Amino acid sequence: MHYGKAEITMKCIGVGGVVNAFITMATNGDEIDWEMVGKDVSHGQTNFFWNNDMLYGVNSRTHSVPGGSINTTYHTYGIDWTPDSLTWSIDGAPVRTLYRKDTLEDGIYKYPSHPSYIQFGVWDGSGSPSLASWTNGPIDWNEQPSVLTNVISKIKITCDSTYNKVVS
Q: Note whether residue 13 is domain-resident.
A: yes
CB 43 within 8 A of CB 65: yes
Report pLDDT for 107.
96
Report pLDDT for 55.
63
Give the DSSP H/E element, type plus range, for residue 18: strand 18-26
Q: Note whether residue 120 is domain-resident.
A: yes
3-state secondary structure labels for all residues of 59-113: CCEEEECCCCCCCCCCEEEEEEECCCEEEEEECCEEEEEEEHHHHEECCEECCCC
CB 21 within 8 A of CB 121: yes
- Known catalytic residues are 31, 35
The DSSP secondary structure of 145-167, one letter per residue, reads: -S----EEEEEEEEE-TTTS---
Q: How many domains does the chain have?
A: 1
Q: Note whether residue 167 is domain-resident.
A: no
Model confidence, pTM: 0.92
Give the DSSP H/E element, type plus range, for residue 131: helix 129-134
Q: Note whether residue 20 is domain-resident.
A: yes
Q: Note whether residue 32 is domain-resident.
A: yes
Report pLDDT for 7.
98
Q: How many residues does the chain have?
A: 168
Q: Which residues are 152's β-sheet partners?
A: 10
CA distance 22 to 115: 16
Q: Note whether residue 19 is domain-resident.
A: yes
Q: What is the CATH number of the domain that holds 21?
A: 2.60.120.200
Which domain range does residue 56 map to?
A: 4-159
pLDDT tens-place values along the chain, 168 residues long: 999 999 999 999 999 999 999 999 999 999 999 999 988 999 999 999 998 766 666 688 999 998 879 999 999 999 999 999 999 999 999 999 999 999 999 999 999 999 999 999 999 888 888 888 888 888 888 888 778 888 999 999 999 989 988 676
CB 123 within 8 A of CB 139: no
Q: Note whether residue 168 is domain-resident.
A: no
Report pLDDT for 130.
82
Q: Note whether residue 79 is domain-resident.
A: yes
